[in-house]
Amino acid sequence: MSGTSLDGLDIALIKLEPNKISQLVASRYVAMPEHLKKEILALCSSGYDELARAAVIEQDLADLAAEGIEKLLQQVQLSPSAIRAIGSHGQTVRHEPDRGFTIQLSNGALLAELTGISVVTDFRSRDVAAGGQGAPLVPAYHEMLFECPNQSRAILNVGGFSNLSLLAPNKITHGFDCGPGNVLVDSWIAVKQGKAYDDKGKWAASAKPNQQLLGILLADDFFQKIGPKSTGRELFNLRWLESKLAEYNHPVTDDIVQSTLLELTVQSIVQSLKASQPFTDELIVCGGGALNDELLKRLQYNLPHAKVVTSAKYGIPPEWLEAMAFAWLAHCCLENVPANRPAVTGAKGLRILGAIYPA
């Protein structure tokens, strides 16, 4: 899969056995070529000749994925015939479930042709067709991995956007998007320092958040909604930030903006968690945000009664968990197992997710 950060493709090879937790066998990261990243970002808003541009990008993404999969199989000395299926999330360019659609660029037919492996893709559309948000889809996988009979847990995935899976004893799984995860802090440091991300949150840690600006950011309508809800670049982007800075209309240094943006991520998570599951024993963090020391520090400070850990505590590398989830979702599709959670997405009921392209 590739997320909203657009840094590259995460390819995870998992092994599934009856009555056992899915095992990460191997993984490979493929950097996103800069020209392809720019073309994908351009497609996130309306522009000239979008259909043709999207079709070409889908082919380029399939080529990139096929090359990465081939190298990963060489790495573990496996042939394509040893792999049951590829779960391909595709690259989200538009996510507007309130208008009845979500668009992920993924040419499953071409990827199957290039690899000789069956492909399962287009996981979100069926949930949206059933009236759901189509996101987040990972709570079912979190449930399988981390559900505990005597602990209330929350699983926090921090990629470009952050989402929570709420796992409490004797309760159905809940979850929703909280708001921007890394998308704004990454965009701001890219513009101001030419860096792809804020390493361990050091730049954000060098200043204190501006509370008045933070209040303006948190006043956005999205943060007033309760789940099910989901979001994306359609709302949270540099244009959105610039409009909020204009509303604040006071001088503010770049480092303070960075610190405030990280605090927005923290507070949107904390407020969501306290409102939906106030008694949480453990917050398990995964995704790229799990590598941000300042983010983890601030989360623990704001959640003194919960233990904040990463999924590494349970033997699952945080940066690979979501790619593992889409491999597992492919398995569910092939086995006709419903993998959405209506309490999470708002769909009318359980649905089997994905479209299959046989090898």
**pLDDT score recorded for residue 4:** 77
**pLDDT score recorded for residue 122:** 97
Looking at 3.40.605.10, 3.40.50.2300, 3.30.420.40, 3.90.850.10, the CATH number of the domain 8-133+319-357 comes to 3.30.420.40
List the Cα angle 182/196/302 in 5-degree steps: 30
**pLDDT score recorded for residue 18:** 85
Token pair belonging to 245: 């800075």
When pLDDT is cut at 50, 70 and 90, the band that residue 32 belongs to is very high
When pLDDT is cut at 50, 70 and 90, the band that residue 227 belongs to is confident
Which residues, at least 6 apart from 84, have a Cβ–Cβ distance to it below 8 Å?
Answer: 118, 331, 334
Token pair belonging to 309: 């850990």
Four-CA torsion 245, 249, 255, 258, nearest 10 degrees: -20
Four-CA torsion 140, 143, 144, 149, nearest 10 degrees: -150
List the Cα angle 77/81/83 in 5-degree steps: 80
Pairing of strands 119-121, 86-88: parallel
Tally of CB atoms within 10 A around 258: 25
When pLDDT is cut at 50, 70 and 90, the band that residue 20 belongs to is confident
When pLDDT is cut at 50, 70 and 90, the band that residue 226 belongs to is confident
List the Cα angle 287/290/294 in 5-degree steps: 140
**pLDDT score recorded for residue 305:** 96
Q: Where are the domains of the chain?
A: 8-133+319-357, 139-318
> Average pLDDT in the 259-265 region?
98
139-318 has the same fold as 8-133+319-357: yes
Q: In this predicted model, what pLDDT tens digit does every residue of 186-217 receive, in sequence order?
A: 999 999 999 999 999 999 999 999 999 999 99
Report the CATH superfamily, name and number, of domain 139-318.
ATPase, nucleotide binding domain (3.30.420.40)
Q: In this predicted model, what pLDDT tens digit does every residue of 297-343 receive, in sequence order?
A: 999 999 999 999 999 999 999 999 999 999 999 999 999 999 999 99
Q: How far apart are CA 73 and CA 82, in angstroms?
A: 9
Using a pLDDT cut of 70, give the percent of the chain over it: 100
Q: What is the CA radius of gyration of the chain?
A: 20
Average of per-residue pLDDT values in the chain: 95
